[in-house]
Chain A
């Protein structure tokens, strides 16, 4: 950790020294821009509970130093969630009555032509977006996933990282990324809180009373907590392509040790889970091109766990008079599993737009046998000089078991209307409806059909 810190310190000093020298060439002014957004959702099912309340002020501060360097930051200042007061004491706490948070999404300095004219370096909190697909990117694994809003597909948080890009020429480049410490994914909140938590199968007549857990954090050292990645990008024969590799850690934990203990009641038990984040190698490839006026893309990622993940269920506390009763099961084999996406889009002569993607393996799914199939489609039409956008077809069809589709599927249908009231003010109304059966992320949302209202103002 000390070595890592020293390395970072030296790097920042070099950057600042370099930047100060170059600041004399500064022409561009400090630029403040941003957006205000309010996102309000309520359930269609009576009594029409409020499902989501978010008021977000995005502030972007950026400054260019001629063509030599750039500073950029993006901060979210948010009032998110509904007041959760339960006692008089809570009324003294503004954080409970009026929940808010501050989030630094990005804050970095980028130097162009650092040490060599073909080398760019970016240091600080940054979003490193990989992949050619539209929001659903199996190769986009450097930044932690931000699952907070499960309907905001593909959202990631920024990572504190150093990125180096070396450009061989206009068409070929090599990127190297170093992230010194591990940042896990953050889970859905509000009504989506249980979307990523699989259902438990307990023996009949046994009721789960209390579920507790503890996460095993990787040690903050080079071997345990760092993430490194590299990507070779090219353009040849009319095709953009890249090959990538990441040595990282799965952002969602596996349950590796569950202790079942008795409760005061005879038929109820408590479970205590130990959760760990698995080391993994990720090999990726992607491409994008155009054929016959249509945009086409494909992306594939092979995930190879560093070791087999075994989950131990320890029933010993339930049977104190017997020898230890434990049961092991493999929850993730040390075998490569492959996620991929293929997609296309097309702009019709009448101004309408079609986008279709087939995804095998959602971001939160792990292990070959647990990967589901997703078919996403959107079709939109624009009216009144593009001020009004109507999206009558928007959604997804998900199959979690092809042998029994009737009981293992989900459908998301989210027709949307967007109106640009002015150049900078956008109002949208959407009605996400969920249908489905079985145990997949979106079939767990069937009770949450909702109406979404969003207003955005950019400045």
Chain B
């Protein structure tokens, strides 16, 4: 009887080991799909929908190079026109407020804060790869989706875990649940991907804060890939222009 138990336990451990390995490969493939372009630029329409269905619209332009350089500049509403953020490697982030006429370093403590009143946090907006940010475990499959549990590697993360469902064929996420440090499900994200040229683009991301019953739709349009953006586009000099 003991032998049977030991055999069962070792089999389970072997299976778990295989699934963990699979999860790592899946994360790599997701990164290849989402971060394979050299650079991208485009426009963002951000629709904030409150629990009564009332909508507010913000617009922005963005540029991104690799997975650690991003410039984001609001164009609407008028009260936020020109407010810009520049994200650089090693958690360096600058905020430019036109009314002050100078850039300002943002503390990394802001990462768990909501980004410009949306349901996305600065952490959600990070362009870091999945492999850099999470340790994954494959939980199983649901139809044509792979279900993964992602544990943030950084202790500064605002989340304890994410459960994400990934398209089995193309390896882009279609649905993610976010859990707070207490293990409570606090947000869900739904993704609509569309292929632009050879890249899969997250055309619409719909993030819902379950506690506040508030949703943010981030719609990307006029997206262009590999336009040859150089590093000079991601400097404080450009941020202030």
Contact A33 B81 (CB under 8 A): yes
Bound-state Cα–Cα, A90 to B111, Å: 58
Question: Contact between B78 and A240 (Cβ–Cβ < 8 Å)?
Answer: no
- B235 near A458: Cβ-Cβ < 8 Å: no
One of B50, B77, B214, B232 near A170 (C-beta < 8 A): B232
Residue of B nearest to A297 (CB): B105
Rounded to whole Å, the gap between the CB of B216 and the closest CB of chain A is 10
Q: B53: which A residues are within 8 A, CB to CB? A: none
Question: B79 on the interface (CB 8 Å rule)?
Answer: yes
Q: Which residues of A contact B236 (CB under 8 A)?
A: 170
Interface membership of chain A positions 352-387, coded 1 if the CB is closer than 8 angstroms to chain B and 0 otherwise: 000000000000000000000000000000000110
| Stretch in A201-209, A343-351, A411-419 with 4+ CB within 8 Å of B | A343-351
With A294-B109, A385-B214 already in contact, the answer to whether A238 and B90 are too (CB < 8 A) is yes
Which of B78, B100, B114, B156 lies in contact with A293, CB distance below 8 A? B156
Q: Which residue of B lies closest to A134 (CB)?
A: B104
Q: Which residues of B contact A449 (CB under 8 A)?
A: none
Q: Indicate which residue in A129, A235, A288, A349 contacts B101 across the interface (CB closer than 8 Å).
A: A129
- Knowing A385-B214, A423-B79, the reply to whether A129 touches B156 (Cβ < 8 A) is no
Choose one: B58, B91, B212; the contact of A385 (CB below 8 Å). Answer: B212
A295 adjacent to B105 (CB under 8 Å): yes
CB-CB < 8 A to A458: which residues of B? 77-79, 81
Q: Is A250 an interface residue (CB 8 A)?
A: no
- Chain A residues lying within 8 Å of B105, measured Cβ to Cβ, are 132, 240, 288-290, 295, 297
B56 at the A interface (CB under 8 A): yes
Q: Whole-angstrom distance from the CB of B72 to the nearest CB of chain A?
A: 17
B194 within 8 A of A: no
Given A120-B237, A423-B77, A423-B79, A347 and B114 touching (CB < 8 A)? Answer: no
Question: Which of A110, A235, A386 contacts B114 (CB under 8 A)?
Answer: A386
Residues of B within 8 A of A347 (CB): 107, 109-110, 112-113
**B112 adjacent to A349 (CB under 8 Å):** yes
A-side interface residues, number (CB < 8 Å)? 39
**B102 lies within 8 A of chain A by Cβ:** yes
Does B231 sit at the interface, judged by CB under 8 A? Answer: yes
Residue on B nearest A31 in the bound complex, by CB: B81
Tally of contacts, chain A with chain B, CB under 8 A: 86
Q: List 16 A-B contacts (CB under 8 A).
A: A129-B100, A129-B102, A132-B105, A165-B237, A170-B234, A240-B105, A290-B107, A292-B109, A293-B107, A346-B109, A347-B113, A351-B113, A386-B117, A423-B56, A423-B78, A456-B79
Task: Indicate if A22 sits at the interface (CB-CB under 8 A).
Answer: no
Give 8 new A-B contacts, CB below 8 A, not counting A167-B237, A290-B105.
A33-B78, A288-B105, A290-B109, A293-B111, A295-B105, A351-B114, A424-B77, A458-B77
Asked whether any CB of chain B lies closer than 8 Å to the CB of A459, the reply is: yes
Please, which residue of chain A has its CB at the minimum distance from the CB of B112?
A349
* Residue A78 CB within 8 A of the other chain: no
Does A437 make an interface contact (CB < 8 A)?
no
- Expressed in whole angstroms, the Cα–Cα distance for A170 and B91 within the complex equals 16
Assembly CA distance A424 to B78 (angstroms): 6
Q: Check if B107 sits within 8 Å of A294, measured CB to CB.
A: yes
Which residues of A have CB within 8 Å of B112? 347, 349
Q: Measured between alpha carbons, how far is A426 from B58 in the docked complex, in Å?
A: 17
Q: Do the beta carbons of B109 and A112 come within 8 Å of each other?
A: no
Q: In the complex where A167-B235, A170-B232, A351-B113 touch, is A346 in contact with B56 (Cβ < 8 A)?
A: no
Quick one: which of A89-128 are within 8 Å of B by CB? 110, 112, 120, 127
Is B66 in the interface zone, CB < 8 Å from A? no
Interface string of B92-109 (1 = CB under 8 A from A): 100000001110111111
CB distance from B240 to the nearest CB of A (A): 9
Q: A33-B78, A385-B50, A459-B78 are in contact. Are A290 and B108 (CB under 8 A)?
A: yes
Chain B residues contacting A297 (CB-CB under 8 Å) are 105
Q: Does A18 interact with chain B (Cβ within 8 Å)?
A: no
* Cα A430 to Cα B182 with chains together (Å): 37
Q: Compute how far the CA of A347 lies from the CA of B108 in the bound complex, rounded to whole angstroms.
A: 9
Chain B residue nearest to A456 in the complex (CB): B79
A38 within 8 A of B: no
Q: Does A279 contact B (CB under 8 A)?
A: no
A255 to B98, CA, bound (A): 38
State in angstroms the CA–CA spacing of A225 and B160 once bound together.
62
Q: CB distance A112 to B81 under 8 Å?
A: no
B227 at the interface (CB under 8 A from A): no
Q: Which residues of A contact B156 (CB under 8 A)?
A: 293
Complex contacts, A290 vs chain B, CB 8 Å: 91, 105-109
B107 to A70, Cβ gap below 8 A?
no
The answer to whether A295 and B56 touch across the interface, beta carbons within 8 angstroms, is no
Judge whether A316 is part of the interface by a CB distance below 8 angstroms.
no
- Interface residues in A286-330 (C-beta closer than 8 Å to B): 288-290, 292-295, 297
Q: Which of A127, A345, A423 lies in contact with B107, CB distance below 8 A?
A: A345
User: Which of A70, A173, A235, A424 meets B241, CB within 8 Å?
Assistant: A70
Q: A170-B231, A295-B106 are in contact. Are A127 and B101 (CB under 8 A)?
A: yes
- Chain B residue numbers with a CB within 8 Å of A127 are 101
Task: Give me the 6 closest cross-chain CB pairs, A-B, nearest first.
Answer: A293-B109, A295-B107, A423-B77, A458-B79, A458-B78, A290-B107
Cα distance A222–B139 in the bound complex, in angstroms:
75
How many Å from the CB of B176 to the closest CB on chain A?
20
Which residues, 417 to 459 on A, are CB-close (under 8 Å) to B? Answer: 423-424, 426, 456, 458-459
Q: Which residues of A contact B232 (CB under 8 A)?
A: 170
Give CA–CA (A459, B78) in the complex, Å: 5
A235-277 interface (Cβ within 8 A of B): 235, 238, 240
Residues of B with C-beta under 8 A to A351: 113-114
How far apart are the CA atoms of A348 and B90 in the complex, in Å? Answer: 21
The chain A residue sitting closest to B102, CB to CB, is A129
* Set of chain A residues within 8 Å of B101, measured between Cβ atoms: 127, 129
Interface flag for B24 (CB, 8 Å): no
**Shortest beta-carbon distance from A104 to chain B in Å:** 15
Whether a CB of chain A sits under 8 angstroms from the CB of B42 is no
